[in-house]
Amino acid sequence: MSTARMLSFGLLATTFLACSLSADESPRMISGIDPQLAYFNDEGECGTGAVVPWADRLWVITYAPHKPQGSSDKLYEITADHQLIVRPESIGGTPANRMIHPESKQLFIGPYVIDGQCKVRVIPPSAMYGRLTGNARHLIDPAHKIYFATMEEGIYEVDVNTLAVTELWTDEQRKNGRHADLPGYHGKGLYSSQGQLVYANNGEHGDKALSRPEIPSGVLASWNGHADAWHIVRRNQFTEVTGPGGIHGNSDPEHDPVWSIGWDHRSLLLAVFDHEKWHFYRLPKSSHSYDGAHGWNTEWPRIREIGEDDLLMTMHGAFWRFPKTFAATNSAGISPRSNYLKVVGDFCRWGDDVVLGCDDAAHSEFLNKRKLKGHTIPAGQSQSNLQFLKPAQLDHIGPIIGRGAVWLKEEVTKDTPSDPYLFKGYDRRTLHVSHKNNAPLAFTIEVDEKGNGEWQKLRNVTVPVENGLWIDFPAAETAAWVRLIPVENGKSVTAFFQYANRDDRSTTPDPMFDAIARAGNKNVTGGLLHARGENFRTLRFVARDANGEIGGYDLDAQLKLKRIDDAAGVNYVKEKLSIPQNVIEIDNASVLYIDEARRRWRFPKGDAALSEPGPLGPERVCREVCTERDLLNIAGTFYELPAENAGGVSRLRPVATHNRRISDFTSYRGLLVLSGLSTGSEPNEHVISSDDGKCSLWVGGVDDLWKFGKPRGTGGPWNDSLVQAGVPSDPYLMTGYDRKRLQLSHTGQSAVSFTVEADFTGLGDWVPWHQLVVSPGQTMDYEFPEAFNCDWIRVVPSASLVATATFIYD
């Protein structure tokens, strides 16, 4: 074993052992979140840039947006008994880099260098300008030097002893942060191995990047330490760059691979540099909230050691198992663990816990503004927190879905294979292929069974011109990867995969939600919520019941809910956070939302009582509770709603159906806070009652919402509606639901044909799925195949008449 590897393993073991000690008194934790550990800054965002166990402590840095010369952000030192120490050396900025340098026994985190005795040295912005994003071992002198990369594409080397800084690659024009030979911007990962320094960024400048996800964006690039230019590996958005050595750097730099994860508008991308050659794979996206060619919605996904047989990977709203031995000839074993809602900037193992460093509430919402929010203002001060989970919990958060393409309306070439696409790890796997050729188009589907690069034919398929071809892969067809090979050239070809695991959640909410008012409950207290900033850092609650306003209350870091006498402050919340009305419509058919572009979208209805006004008046529909993505609450169901620049309503997914009278919801100190509780609710871990006993709040984690139960509901585009021949119905949501049925009826005097059309991509690419002929006076009940999934569904009648189309999801 090399000296570097021995040092690396020794430091890791020492860190785990030292940090596993606990204090006599445990901190108050709600869903793994200690509200007293929350951190704040004075900028528009306060995300967690890095979390690293080191020298008997957990070290945390936060970042502000676009602050290369420092900010109010801090370096935090956290003890085993959750004492949060603000280091006086703090200079802030936008840092997310971290690396343990084995030879010098120092932690490099942000601009800080920390030795084994917790002594902190600082590299100031005057010496190393930029938003620090990555570290890597030096290609030539790894014992004495380390690389730094910035989001501005400036690359530096630093002497680990003297901290002398040498700028290797300048930011040619810092006005716009671009290199002539290094496209993209918004730098992310940095790593070195096999004689290459590998760098990634995930964004693109310009207005087009805000609205067109398919434009060229981001880059994966390498440099050999001597050349005058970077080598462009792939012109796509990439984030993490790492290898088997993880935070310590590869211990066998001549042979150890380099891994990088990223995405494009089709699906996730996984790259491996193995034996001096790059190989690429594709994986499904669990969430689209991270999308956008600008790269702003995706922070720092990671692949990290958490003390298990596999590494943990975060990417696009999913926790993944990532094999430590992943290589081009040993690529099997990647699989999703669960879906989540939190925005996770970094994570690590600390004692018995996996610690997630999150990005929870921003004071400025950047591009994430929409009319659904009405007068809602963001948090009074940007704030985020840590979440502590047991490793086993990572497998039991949200049910797994995955969507993505290998081709999306593209020209394909005869005998040229697609990128390999993940095939294993899901209960239900389907593929829809379509094209614009004038004649049927044939493909060979191949699989790499063991992940060793040996491909075998699975089947031949011929895709018709009109409807495309839907394929349901049975469980018996197992392999690590799948790919398609066109038998001839093809025009505008789309090959889109829809994956999901069985949703084993019941329809009975977890008892943690018992205090939240049921749909028909009239004895409710609720009201407006606002996370305050400046010197307050409390949550203001303007409470009311069915008889009117009760008063103002503040929830503090100790989770004490106290009555306050602040008429001006209460009026401020009532004015600035009034709940918008008439932003959605509930009609006889379903829930209708018309977005800013005048597009119509329909959703299921839950409990019928929720279609009527509640005892407290309007209830919050939409709010940002994780940075740059919203939580949508309509007709008894919570949805994850991406920012408009990431697809908006067209790319949302249901989280859970609650069927409760939730008055308002917000993020505070990393917690999710809900108002709308039954009068007289007994305090417990999640229920915080006021000091005067007149009202209560529910507190927990945003990912507790999955425990409300599987998404379900009933509705459709028509209910005794006059429809026109050949005119499609409004799109109706289908993604993320388990069991799905359609009931069709009409008032015509003869049989009528209805074409059911599916949008598999979520991009408005409608294709015929099934044709149903309904006799007069009858209701046809059609059950979709168990594995069937699409983003949106609609119905097209063959005749003008009065019809009903009802989708039942359970």
Residues 539-561, mean pLDDT to the nearest whole number: 97
Output the pLDDT for position 534: 76
Residues 132-159, mean pLDDT to the nearest whole number: 96
Residue 504 has pLDDT above 50, yes or no: yes
Q: Is 375 part of any domain?
A: no
Q: Does one domain contain both 624 and 730?
A: no
Q: Taken in order 6, 350, 297, 397, is the CA torsion positive or negative? A: positive
Residues 410-420, mean pLDDT to the nearest whole number: 98
For residue 592, the number of C-alpha atoms closer than 13 Å in the C-beta half-sphere is 15
Residues 698-720, mean pLDDT to the nearest whole number: 98
The conformation of residue 712, written as its DSSP 8-state character, comes to -
Strand partners, 685: none
Q: What are the pLDDT digits (tens) for 282-324?
A: 999 999 999 999 999 988 899 999 999 999 999 999 999 999 9
Q: Is 326 part of any domain?
A: yes
Q: Does one domain contain both 231 and 331?
A: yes
* DSSP of 243-290: -TTGGG--SSTTT--EEEEEE-SSSEEEEEEETTEEEEEEE-BS-STT
Distance CA 593, CA 361 (A): 26
Q: Does one domain contain both 784 and 698?
A: no
Q: Does one domain contain both 560 and 607?
A: yes
Residues 750-761, mean pLDDT to the nearest whole number: 98
Residue 502 has pLDDT above 90, yes or no: yes
The answer to whether the CB of 593 falls within 8 A of the CB of 601 is yes
Sole residue written with tokens 């790059």: 278
Q: Does one domain contain both 746 and 690?
A: no
Q: Does one domain contain both 704 and 717?
A: no
Distance CA 74, CA 66 (A): 15
Q: From the CB of residue 743, how many other CB atoms can be counted at a distance below 10 Å? A: 16
Distance CA 46, CA 58 (A): 18
Mean pLDDT computed over every residue of the chain: 93
Distance CA 379, CA 497 (A): 38
The answer to whether the CB of 500 falls within 8 A of the CB of 481 is no
Distance CA 69, CA 86 (A): 19
Residue 382, C-beta contacts closer than 8 angstroms, at least 6 positions apart: 40, 41, 42, 43, 44, 45, 46, 64, 361, 362, 363, 364
What is the pLDDT confidence band of residue 180, given thresholds at 50, 70 and 90? low
Q: Which residue has the higher pLDDT, 609 or 5?
A: 609
Output the pLDDT for position 682: 87
Integer CA distances (angstroms), 249 to 245, 323, 456, in order: 5, 17, 36
User: Domain containing 307 — which CATH number?
Assistant: 2.130.10.10
Q: Is 41 part of any domain?
A: no
Radius of gyration of the chain (CA): 27
Residues 525-546, mean pLDDT to the nearest whole number: 94
What is the pLDDT confidence band of residue 386, given thresholds at 50, 70 and 90? very high
Output the pLDDT for position 371: 66
- For residue 307, give the amino acid letter: G
Distance CA 185, CA 614 (A): 48
Token representation of residue 310: 């596999």
SS3 string of 17-84? HHHCCCCCCCCCCECCECHHHCEECCCCCCEEEEEEEECCEEEEEEECCCCCCCCCCCEEEECCCCCE
* Number of independent structural domains in the chain: 4
Q: Does one domain contain both 480 and 517?
A: no
Output the pLDDT for position 376: 67
Output the pLDDT for position 299: 81
What is the pLDDT confidence band of residue 174, given thresholds at 50, 70 and 90? very low
Q: Taken in order 14, 16, 21, 26, is the CA torsion positive or negative? A: positive
The answer to whether the CB of 519 falls within 8 A of the CB of 619 is no
Q: Is 374 part of any domain?
A: no
Q: Is 793 part of any domain?
A: yes
Closest CA to 83 of 50, 36, 127: 36
Which of 500, 521, 548 is where one domain is finished?
Answer: 500
Q: Is 387 part of any domain?
A: no
The answer to whether the CB of 391 falls within 8 A of the CB of 596 is no
What is the pLDDT confidence band of residue 6, given thresholds at 50, 70 and 90? very low
What is the pLDDT confidence band of residue 680, given thresholds at 50, 70 and 90? confident
Q: Does one domain contain both 305 and 439?
A: no
Q: Does one domain contain both 208 and 221?
A: yes
Output the pLDDT for position 375: 61
* DSSP of 540-579: EEEEEETTEEEEEEEE-TT--EEEE--HHHHHHHHHHSPP
Output the pLDDT for position 247: 98
Q: Does one domain contain both 459 and 595?
A: no
Distance CA 618, CA 579 (A): 6
Which of 708, 741, 756 is where one domain is finished?
Answer: 708
Output the pLDDT for position 515: 97
Sole residue written with tokens 């985190």: 109
Q: By residue range, what is the domain housing residue 411?
A: 402-500
Q: From the CB of residue 549, how many other CB atoms can be counted at a distance below 10 Å? A: 12
Q: Is 369 part of any domain?
A: no
Output the pLDDT for position 2: 35
Q: What are the pLDDT digits (tens) for 466-485?
A: 889 999 999 999 999 999 99
Distance CA 29, CA 22 (A): 14
Q: Does one domain contain both 555 and 694?
A: yes
The answer to whether the CB of 783 falls within 8 A of the CB of 714 is no
Residue 712 has pLDDT above 70, yes or no: yes
Q: Is 322 part of any domain?
A: yes
Residues 720-747, mean pLDDT to the nearest whole number: 98
Poorest-pLDDT segment among 170-174, 291-295, 702-706: 170-174
Output the pLDDT for position 19: 33
Which of 324, 358, 392 is where one domain is finished?
Answer: 358
Residue 636 has pLDDT above 90, yes or no: yes
The dihedrals phi and psi of 759, each to the nearest 5 degrees, come to -110, 100
Distance CA 3, CA 366 (A): 47
The dihedrals phi and psi of 671, each to the nearest 5 degrees, come to -95, 155
Distance CA 52, CA 77 (A): 10
Q: What are the pLDDT digits (tens) for 203-226?
A: 999 999 998 999 999 999 999 998
Sole residue written with tokens 């570290």: 135
Residue 725 has pLDDT above 80, yes or no: yes
The answer to whether the CB of 543 falls within 8 A of the CB of 549 is yes
- For residue 245, give the amino acid letter: G
Q: Does one domain contain both 548 and 600?
A: yes
User: Domain containing 763 — which CATH number?
Assistant: 2.60.120
Q: From the CB of residue 249, how many other CB atoms can be counted at a distance below 10 Å? A: 27
Sole residue written with tokens 């809900």: 674
Poorest-pLDDT segment among 371-375, 569-573, 758-762: 371-375
Residues 558-581, mean pLDDT to the nearest whole number: 94
- For residue 751, give the amino acid letter: A
The dihedrals phi and psi of 17, each to the nearest 5 degrees, come to -65, -45
